[in-house]
Amino acid sequence: MWRQSKIAALTLMKDHECLDLLKEIGGTHVCEDRRKKSSKFMVEIEKCWIFLK
């Protein structure tokens, strides 16, 4: 059960805080982090290919 104080805190959250909470619950933070890491990795690979040519 949720405590009344937690429910009150949810109702008083700012928009960006609610969005961050929804992203965390939905697991999109994990997807965004992995996408960023993959993009960095792809940039490094492209640099290596350019260097080898």
> One digit per residue, pLDDT tens: the chain, 53 residues?
567 777 788 889 999 998 888 888 888 878 888 999 999 999 998 888 877 76
- pLDDT at position 36: 92
Query: Do residues 21 and 13 lie in contact, with contact meaning Cβ atoms separated by under 8 Å?
Result: yes
Q: How many CB atoms lie within 10 A of CB 19?
A: 12
What span, in angstroms and rounded, lies between the C-alpha atoms of 53 and 48?
9
- pLDDT at position 3: 76
- pLDDT at position 16: 92
Its pTM stands at 0.50
- pLDDT at position 26: 83
